[in-house]
Amino acid sequence: MSQTWSNKFRVAVGGLLWALRDQTSFHVHLAFTAAVITLAVLLRLQLWQWIGLVFAIGLVLAAELFNTAMELLVAVLHPEYDPRIGRALDVAAAAVLVSALTAATIGIAILGPELYCWLMQV
Ligand SMILES: Nc1ncnc2c1ncn2[C@@H]1O[C@H](COP(=O)(O)OP(=O)(O)OP(=O)(O)O)[C@@H](O)[C@H]1O
């Protein structure tokens, strides 16, 4: 069954909103995202700095969404313990870890010097 583009968009937004509302790991990501955006506004960042931060935020959210999708599928298709399933879930979790470490590096590289300059002025 082929969906219309508007329906594809609608179900994708529905999936995103469900994850943001029902998955506790997304609450942590949202708190970090809110803190980073607040800092970025207060520090009056340049366009390229905003692009870096938005990329970092999107990277983590996308990895977490894929990880959540894997967990949901496993819970339905193979809830019984299987070390191969466990390995697949561990690898998916590793993708979130790698993306989060990358995002943290980008965030520190962009916000660190700006925060330092701001602190030197006050
Ligand atoms: N069916 C399974 N077979 C083997 N190992 C599993 C299975 N389900 C989960 N695991 C192991 O448990 C770990 C955590 O899986 P789980 O799906 O509970 O993730 P979680 O991060 O705790 O999820 P939540 O989003 O509910 O917090 C996996 O990384 C994997 O090592």
Q: How confident is the model over 77-92, as pLDDT tens digits?
A: 999 999 999 999 999 9
Which residues does the annotation mark as catalytic? 64
pLDDT tens profile 14-30: 999 999 999 999 999 99
Q: Is the CB of 87 under 6 A from ligand 1?
A: no
pLDDT band at 122 (very low <50, low <70, confident <90, very high): confident
Percent of the chain past pLDDT 70, that is, above it, reads: 99
Residues 53, 110: Cα–Cα separation, whole Å: 8
Q: 61, 102 in Cβ contact below 8 A?
A: no
Burial class, 20, CB count within 10 angstroms (exposed 0-12 / middle 13-18 / buried 19+) = middle
67: its two tokens: 């990880």
Give residue-wise pLDDT tens across range 51-68: 999 999 999 999 999 999
Among the atoms of ligand 1, which is closest to the Cα of residue 87?
Answer: 31
Complete domains list, the chain, with CATH: 25-121 (1.10.287)
